[in-house]
């Protein structure tokens, strides 16, 4: 492994070890009311340990309980239920948003909010991963769900717990678990069905994310973990079916992300029963949110809405100015969670001649997982481009820019693409790797390149904006837009690359379509929440407001739009 790449893995391991040791102490201090009085001292100790966290991280649910105290106790909502299936930790910022939605939907539509909470019912979930395990942390599940009891008690919101609906020791589950234990291959795992649901397919992304990889390599450990997800997903399926059968008055669902296994099952039942649902996720900044009705928000695909949008949208001076400002803010780092490289290592492209850039993704991001079109995976695409380069290059150098987030975002990665492909390019003078640890500004690369190759990276938008052709291999939301080149097959892909390298392919970027797309996705579909942070990497307090009333008044337009999307009044 290239030096420096494992620093985030080491950091996250340190966080996990310290949490295992000190979380029981914090829980005890919380029970006797000493966490807040000792907060400054505890935060000082956390910083001394080199951890970029705040003690507030462990007890944000207390703040949420206090803000919404008694807000749901005396309300008499109508018969319609808005259901929140919750597989996320109680201290997450979406808990605050869910409480805010609940309060607003009582006022706007007399709906009854219900939190449906996993109370340690499943043996593996989306919080599990290679660097954290419930097997070595006795408070793993407690930290996630116990605070919901405090919220239920303080606010009066109706809360149902999984194990009250279905006993994990249910006989039918024992029988299906025996069947699952007989599975011995990844293909069998993917093909597994339960209650006529493609549970194995739904779990695929969850397992990939568990291992922090983009594809399976068939190791026994992968099958072992996949089986555990199948068992948990089968339980979740039975639990969801039980709740919805017993509560036909559920009219709406609000689901986090919507991409991984459990959320996919919730979406399945919502669609089956004609329940309107919304999937939501943080996007592009601390207060940015995207959501989608009756679909998977991380696909970033609002095709029907886009058609309506373009009927009235005009590509005028104001729209162009918004687009220019967007790309300027993106380049400066104003709109992103973390700026990877403002600096640029001079001389790295000296004497390289004509070159093109291939930009990789973080391949376990939910916006990328399984977003395949003409290649089976991002790594398959990368390997095929390398293997074909001598044949199609025509003297052009291929510069492979490995996503800097592999080493610079505080997110563990198991697959370091630079290390995985370095052996394949040994001895190839026409291919250059710029690895994730190198201080290279992608905008400098774009300025001198002939064209770009991407899988699902949004750098394709920036490439088009800067007037360079971009060839798409994966399934980003802008595939087949007229400002990028989207080959329909592998043969067409490499024919296109060969012609571009020979200067025989003429492509005119449709800048009007680029302006329309940017204004639609980043100014219409992307919502900004006033005074509330959805993304708080250091777990600082996430709102300036003191009461739900203040939150609603400060975000009435946002809440009205969200409500209209959920209910269908758009």
Query: Which domains does the chain possess?
Result: 59-287+529-567 (3.40.50), 340-512 (3.40.50.2000)
* Confidence tier at 22 by pLDDT (50, 70, 90): confident
Over residues 292-312, mean pLDDT: 92
pLDDT at 322: 97
**Residue 390 is inside which H or E element, if any?**
helix 378-392
Which of helix, strand or coil describes residue 418?
Answer: helix
Rounded to 5°, the CA angle 311-312-317 comes to 125
Beta-bridged to residue 85, according to DSSP, are 116
pLDDT, tens digit, 9 for 90 and up, residues 424-442:
887 788 999 998 888 888 8
CA–CA dist 253, 277 (Å, integer): 4
CA–CA dist 476, 456 (Å, integer): 4
Structure tokens, 82 = 């808005």
Residue 75 has pLDDT above 60, yes or no: yes
With helix as H, strand as E and coil as C, how does 109-129 read?
HCCEEEEEECCCCCCCCCCCE
* Confidence tier at 76 by pLDDT (50, 70, 90): confident
* Confidence tier at 530 by pLDDT (50, 70, 90): very high
pLDDT at 1: 53
CA–CA dist 501, 546 (Å, integer): 59
Structure tokens, 331 = 């380049």
pLDDT at 336: 62
262 near 205, Cβ under 8 Å? Answer: no
Residues 6+ away with beta carbon under 8 Å from 335:
284, 285, 326, 329
pLDDT at 138: 83
CA–CA dist 330, 336 (Å, integer): 7
Q: Name the least confident of 350-354, 424-428, 457-461.
A: 424-428
pLDDT at 492: 98
Residue 415 has pLDDT above 70, yes or no: no
CA–CA dist 8, 395 (Å, integer): 38
CA–CA dist 342, 95 (Å, integer): 34
Q: pTM for the whole thing?
A: 0.90
Residue 335 has pLDDT above 80, yes or no: no
Order of strands across the sheet with 431-434? 431-434, 397-401, 355-359, 452-454, 470-472
pLDDT at 315: 98
Concatenating the DSSP letter of every residue in 161-205 gives EHHHHS-TT-HHHHHHHHHHHT--SHHHHHH--BTTB-HHHHHHH
Over residues 131-160, mean pLDDT: 90
Residue 414 has pLDDT above 60, yes or no: no
Share the mean pLDDT of the chain. Answer: 90
Put residue 58 in one of left, alpha, beta given phi > 0 → left and psi -120 to 50 → alpha.
alpha
* Confidence tier at 134 by pLDDT (50, 70, 90): confident
pLDDT, tens digit, 9 for 90 and up, residues 245-270:
999 999 999 999 989 999 999 999 99
Strand-strand pairing, 355-359 and 397-401:
parallel
Residue 570 has pLDDT above 70, yes or no: no
pLDDT at 103: 97
Over residues 17-39, mean pLDDT: 82
61 near 148, Cβ under 8 Å? Answer: yes
Residues 6+ away with beta carbon under 8 Å from 547:
67
Structure tokens, 541 = 């307090």
Give the percent of the chain with pLDDT over 70: 92
Q: Name the least confident of 16-25, 55-64, 93-102, 282-291.
A: 16-25
Q: DSSP letter at 485?
A: B
* Confidence tier at 413 by pLDDT (50, 70, 90): low
């Amino acid at each position: 492994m290239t030096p420096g790449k494992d620093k985030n893995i080491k950091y996250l391991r340190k966080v996990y070890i310290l949490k295992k040791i000190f979380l029981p102490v914090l829980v005890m201090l919380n029970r006797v009311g000493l966490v807040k009085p000792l907060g400054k001292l505890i935060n000082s100790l956390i910083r001394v340990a080199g951890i970029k966290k705040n003690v507030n991280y462990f007890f944000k649910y207390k703040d949420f309980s206090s803000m919404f105290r008694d807000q749901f106790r005396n309300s008499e909502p109508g018969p319609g239920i808005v259901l929140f299936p919750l597989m996320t930790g109680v201290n997450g910022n979406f808990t605050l948003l869910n409480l805010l939605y609940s309060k607003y939907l009582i006022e706007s539509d007399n709906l009854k909010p219900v939190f449906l909470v996993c109370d340690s019912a499943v043996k593996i979930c989306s919080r599990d991963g290679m660097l954290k395990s419930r097997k070595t942390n006795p408070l793993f599940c407690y930290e996630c769900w116990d605070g919901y009891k405090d919220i239920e008690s303080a606010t009066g919101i109706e809360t149902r717990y999984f194990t009250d609906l279905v006993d994990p020791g249910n006989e039918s589950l024992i029988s299906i678990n025996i069947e699952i234990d007989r599975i011995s291959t990844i293909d069998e795992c993917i093909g597994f069905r339960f209650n006529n649901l493609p549970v194995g397919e739904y779990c695929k992304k969850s397992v990939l994310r568990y291992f922090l990889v983009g594809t399976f390599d068939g190791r026994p450990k992968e099958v072992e973990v996949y089986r555990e997800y199948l068992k948990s997903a089968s339980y979740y399926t039975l639990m969801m079916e039980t709740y919805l059968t017993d509560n036909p008055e559920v009219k709406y669902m609000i689901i986090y992300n919507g991409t991984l296994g459990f959320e996919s099952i919730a979406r399945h039942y919502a669609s089956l029963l004609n329940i309107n649902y919304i999937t939501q996720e943080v996007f592009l900044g601390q207060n940015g949110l995207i959501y989608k009705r009756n679909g998977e928000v991380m696909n970033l695909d609002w095709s029907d809405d886009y058609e309506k949008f373009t009927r009235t949208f005009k590509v005028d001076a104001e729209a162009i100015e918004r687009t220019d400002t967007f790309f300027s803010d993106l380049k400066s780092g104003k709109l992103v969670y973390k700026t990877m490289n403002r600096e640029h290592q001079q001389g790295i492209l000296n004497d390289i001649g004509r070159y093109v850039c291939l930009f990789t993704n973080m391949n376990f991001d939910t916006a990328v997982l399984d977003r395949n079109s003409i290649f089976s995976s991002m790594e398959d695409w990368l390997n095929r481009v390398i293997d074909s380069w001598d044949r199609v290059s025509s003297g052009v150098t291929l510069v492979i820019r490995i996503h800097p987030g592999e080493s610079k975002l505080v997110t563990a990665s198991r697959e370091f693409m630079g290390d995985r492909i370095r052996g394949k390019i040994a001895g190839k003078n026409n291919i250059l790797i710029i690895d994730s640890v190198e201080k290279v500004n992608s905008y400098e690369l774009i300025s001198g390149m002939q064209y770009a190759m991407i899988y699902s990276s949004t750098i394709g938008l920036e490439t088009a904006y800067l007037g360079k052709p971009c060839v798409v291999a994966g399934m980003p939301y802008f595939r087949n837009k007229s400002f990028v080149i989207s080959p329909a097959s592998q043969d067409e892909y490499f024919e296109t690359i060969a012609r571009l390298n020979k200067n025989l392919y003429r492509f005119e970027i449709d800048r009007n379509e680029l302006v329309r797309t940017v204004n639609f996705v980043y100014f219409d579909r992307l919502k900004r929440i006033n005074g509330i942070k959805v993304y708080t990497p250091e777990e600082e307090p996430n709102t300036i407001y003191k009461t739900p009333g203040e939150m609603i008044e400060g975000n009435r337009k946002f809440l009205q739009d969200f409500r209209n999307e959920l209910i269908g009044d758009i």
